[in-house]
Structure 1
Amino acid sequence: MSSIPALLRDRIAATPDAEAYRVPTDDGWESLSWREVGERVRGLALGLAALGAGPGRRVSILCSTRLEWILTDLAVLATGAATTTIYPSNTAAEAAFVITDSGSTIVVAENDEQVAKLRSVREELPGVTRVIVVDGSAGDDEWVVPLDSVTGEGDYDAMVDAITEDDLATLIYTSGTTGRPKGVELTHDNWLYAADAVRQLGLISPADLHFLWLPLSHSFGKLLEVVMIGIGVPTAIDGRLDKIADNLGVVRPTIMAAAPRIFEKIHNTVVASMRREGGAKLRIFEWARRTGIRVSRARQRGASLPLTTRAEYALADRLVFAKLRERFGGRVRYFISGAAPLNTDIAEFFDAAGLTILEGYGLTESSAGSFLNRPDAPRFGTVGPPLPGTEVRIADDGEILIGGRGVMRGYHGLPEETAAALEDGWLRTGDIGELDEAGRLRITDRKKELIKTSGGKYVAPTHLEGSIKAACPYVSHVFVHGDRRNYVTALVTLDMDVVAPWAAAESLPADAEALREHPRMREEIQKAVDQVNADQASYATVKKFAILAEDFTVETGELTASLKIRRKIVEERHGKTLDGFYDG
């Protein structure tokens, strides 16, 4: 197989009438077959070619997760051009940087709002010849054309046949938690390798139904796109975050991938609602959770369960866990988690409920998929063994090095940065980790994010952050601080969706500004901090914390699109509060 469009063509030939995608409509959901997808991609590809897309060119997509994103991506690739991905949450200046740095000549924008963003920086985009709008009006501006008008004629198959596996397929700009984004060059072969490696595991079949909400601008979402084409798995697509819970109950998928924040929020919502119920319901829930986690840990060890434990678990399942599974449609075989570390306590809770989360690991620079836990032998706290064909080494300083066909071609236009990241063909991940006796990778922290206190002790902030979030259902995000300081501190934000019902039941203030300083709220956070501190060395304990009135969000720039904290932005924005921890 030489390219993603060739992969799609083979899929259409093999199962033309099978369901490919399912999309929301005003009346419910409607499906497209692989044949119908092929027809739409063909027409759009020929239209894009007529507008100048082709070998050596780039087309940017500025759009949320929806069917048109995938159709446009496949059409761009079919012309021989490469897709440049832009998060719809990016500012006009950020979008302009990606467009100009990548050399994109066409931009596909989702709606009038995104078009307005581009118009505001039009003088900075001299190389852009056309903006194609998915939902919106072109107006009188010839620079903008509607997507449904993009058609053309020509030899589609000849275009596809001309693409080679080494051709550039995608430019994805790293989110830049610590610096300026870099364009990661991924070839057709990079994606085809990663997708085939997942296929070899036999975890997914055409009988599955995949629910996709992840940003397709992120490498994780893009990998899932290619995986499902290769295997022929139908995908229900809806990128609206506020619709995830409703969609799961209606679509009833068997597989869904998500960032850890989604699982944290589900966990915290369930725990908080049980705490509000109190009494017998809370006692039953806590008993069921303890029983389920005992069973989960036994499964991880490969230990057999006593008959009494099996009977207890069957009762816990009937009283608690079966109801939780029903919230997700009742058919989920497993979830997949990536993009950031998943807390072990939360992973074990979901596993206890029969909703196993397979945590994986990869970088944009390694085509997103490099490691994945297996359903038959998950070990929570690890990201599993490498995918078939991926090689791993641990450097002398603990840094994880990855080799294999999934590793990027390089950073766009940055030869020095490319040489620094790729050492003798090995990708330097910037993450610190270790391999267990079964070859499963455990990540301890990011090399650049390790805190070194003024006493010379190293502290892993993301471990502490995840543990505190798991210990208190009212917490949305935690930012642990202390580099070159004499002790560790933290900023905490509240998940008001979870906090508000609790606050109302406790007759506490309803707004975050008043609530954050309330002794009752601080007491709840302090209990979680104390619980986590009890398992830490003294130098790694959180000595002080502040509750912020506003949550970290993608829109405010404190989170990346994959919901990871942008540490430098948070430090700059809340520097006064952080400095205050160490005054006097």
Structure 2
Amino acid sequence: MSEMMDRFREEVYTVPQMFFNSARNFPERPALKFYEDDEWQVMTWAEFEQAVRLVGNGLLALGLEKGNCVALMAHTSHRWAWADMAIQAVGGITVCIYPSLTSKETIYIGNNAQPYLFITGDPATAERIYSIKNELKGLKAVICLEKGFEGNGEDLLSMDYVMELGRDYEAKNPDHFDKRYQELTGDDGCTVIYTSGTTGALKGVFYTQRELILGLEQSIRYCEMGGYPLTYEGVSLNVLPLSHVWERVDSYMGQLVSGGCMGFARSPQTLIEDLQVIKPTWLLLVPRLWSRVYTGIERTFCATEEGKKAFEWAIDVGLKSIDYYTDERGGLNLLPLHNLTWPEG
């Protein structure tokens, strides 16, 4: 395997360690690309690390202990990444919850996982969780990720407030944060991922640091076998829920380990426009969203006669290639298709 795989095996045992390796090796390279304050913004790895340190120290200031669970109920965004990495870095366990769940389902998860803190993505969700706070055992505070949110400064807090707490805490305890993440091992808890509840009762799956790392190692191996190794020049477009293990490991963590850039779509509805801005080299989508991409590409290409000809040729070649490269067991090997070129004439 490549130098990436060798270094990965030797140096990476936890997700926070993976994150800080990339921040140290690629401080000035882009880490996050996202839309905020009415414009696209880019955050470097050094800036990403600083945000994680401030949030992490804020969590320490709020009394988070190693092994405590922190619920994270938010749509995919750069602030989700800040929160997740901060939780893990200080030894907490990120409990991923789909924002679409009802209050009844949320209470069930809350009393099952018993989070010390509950982080939400938007004010409406923050207020909803705050209204049922007394029904959630051991919950200290609700935190809202969205910029500009104003809490009460006691048990309904903004992320900005938590980061200010972190700034003060770090000044008084400069080594505590680093000590927390450096003491983590592969056997420590990493995350609990709950099912969406659409196919039955909600179930939580507990992952250790080692288990997520092993899943990522397998993804790295497949990427290399396929001729597309993960590198610091890679760019992902994150639009699927990070509450799902597939997006979490193969897209989000893939950039964490390689030092690449994570781009965040504004929403599934703006996917076609966001693709043109972020220009990803790595994209995971479910069939419904691939259909939206297909429709958008078809509409764009077929706007001209030349484009329509190119589009129809590509579809024809693609369908024939699938038939040709599908074996008797239904397996499909697309590696030989990498050398396809536009025909002469």
Q: Is the 8 A contact 1:274 1:282 kept in 2?
A: yes
Match in the other structure for 1:362: none
Q: Secondary structure at the match of 1:80?
A: coil
State the 1:219 CA deviation: 1.1
Larger radius of gyration: 1
Say yes or no: does 1:252 pair with 2:279.
yes
d(CA) in 2 for partners of 1:285, 1:91: 43
Tell whether 2:315 aligns with 1:294: no
Residue 335 of structure 2 corresponds to 376
Q: Among residues 170, 189, 192, which one is paired with 1:168 in the alignment?
A: 189
Equivalent residue, structure 2, for 1:262: 289
The equivalent position to 1:134 in structure 2, one of 140, 145, 160, is: 145
Aligned length: 307
Residues 244-299 of structure 1: CA deviation (Å, up to 9, x unaligned): 11111222222211111111333456679999x9x999898656633442244335
Is 1:188 aligned to 2:214, yes or no?
no
Alignment-mate amino acid for residue 154 of structure 2: E
- Among 174, 178, 203, the alignment partner of 2:199 is 178
CA RMSD of aligned residues (A): 2.9
How far apart are 1:122 and its partner, in Å? 2.5
Specify every segment of 5 or more residues in structure 2 that has no aligned partner in the other structure, as ranges: 1-11, 338-345
Shift of 1:71: 0.7
* Deviations 1:19-40, CA, capped at 9 Å, x for gaps: 1111113453221111111111
C-alpha distance in structure 1 between counterparts of 2:125 and 2:194, whole Å? 18
Pair 1:21-2:32 in alignment: yes
Counterparts of 1:399-418 in structure 2, within 5 Å, are none
Which residue of the partner structure matches residue 247 of structure 2? 221
Residues 124 and 293 from structure 1, CA distance in 2 versus in 1: closer, same or farther, beyond 3 angstroms?
A: same
Within-5 A mapping of 1:411-490: none
In structure 2, distance between residues paired with 1:281 and 1:170: 46
Determine the C-alpha separation between the residues in 2 that align with 1:206 and 1:282.
Answer: 35
Indicate the SS of the match to 2:181: helix
How far residue 82 of structure 1 moved from its aligned partner, in angstroms, is: 0.2
After superposition, the Cα gap between the structure-2 partners of 1:33 and 1:374, relative to the gap in structure 1 and judged at 3 Å, is farther
Residue 232 of structure 1 corresponds to: 259
Post-superposition shift, 1:142?
2.2
Distance 1:227 1:148 in 2: 28
The answer to whether the aligner puts 1:80 opposite 2:91 as a matched pair is yes
CA distance in 2, matches of 1:183, 1:284: 47
Q: Does 1:143 align with 2:143?
A: no
1:67 matched residue in structure 2 = 78
Q: Higher RCO, 1 or 2 (CA under 8 Å, sep at least 6)?
A: 2
Shift of 1:221: 2.0
8 A contact 2:240–2:285 mirrored in 1: yes
* C-alpha displacement of 1:375: 5.4
Q: 1:71 to 1:2 in 2, by over 3 A?
A: same
2:21 paired with 1:10: yes
Q: Does structure 1 conserve the Cα–Cα contact (< 8 Å) formed by 2:101 and 2:196?
A: no
2:210 corresponds to which letter in structure 1? D
Residue 104 of structure 1 aligns to a residue in which SS?
A: coil
**Native 8 Å contact 1:12 1:34 kept in 2:** yes
Query: Does the residue aligned with 2:157 lie in a helix, a strand or coil?
Result: strand
Displacement of 1:238:
2.4
List, as ranges, runs of 4+ consecutive aligned residues in structure 1 with deviation greater than 4 Å.
268-275, 279-288
Letter paired with 2:96: T
Whether the 8 Å contact between 1:21 and 1:236 is mirrored in structure 2 is yes
3-state DSSP of counterpart to 1:60: strand
In structure 2, the CA distance between the partners of 1:294 and 1:374, relative to structure 1 (3 Å rule), is closer
- Structure ranking higher in strand proportion: 1
Q: TM-score w.r.t. structure 2 length?
A: 0.80
What do the CA deviations read for 1:333-364 (whole angstroms, capped 9, x no partner)? Answer: xxxxxxxxxxx9xxxxxxxxxxxxxx9xxxxx
Quick one: structure 1 residues 234 and 118, their matched pair in 2 at CA, closer, same or farther if it must change by over 3 Å? same
How far residue 70 of structure 1 moved from its aligned partner, in angstroms, is: 0.5
Matches within 5 A, 1:354-373: none
Alignment match, 2:3? none
Q: Secondary structure at the match of 1:23?
A: strand
* In structure 2, C-alpha distance between the alignment counterparts of 1:171 and 1:66, rounded to whole Å: 19
Relative distance call for 1:120 and 1:280 in structure 2 (3 A) is same
For residues 301 and 13 of structure 2, what CA distance do their matches in structure 1 show?
A: 53
| Cα gap change, 1:52 to 1:375, in 2 (>3 Å) | farther
DSSP 3-state at the match of 2:34: strand
Whether the 8 Å contact between 2:52 and 2:86 is mirrored in structure 1 is yes
* Corresponding position of 1:547: none
Change (3 A) 1:2 1:280: closer
Deviations 1:506-559 (A, max 9, x none): xxxxxxxxxxxxxxxxxxxxxxxxxxxxxxxxxxxxxxxxxxxxxxxxxxxxxx
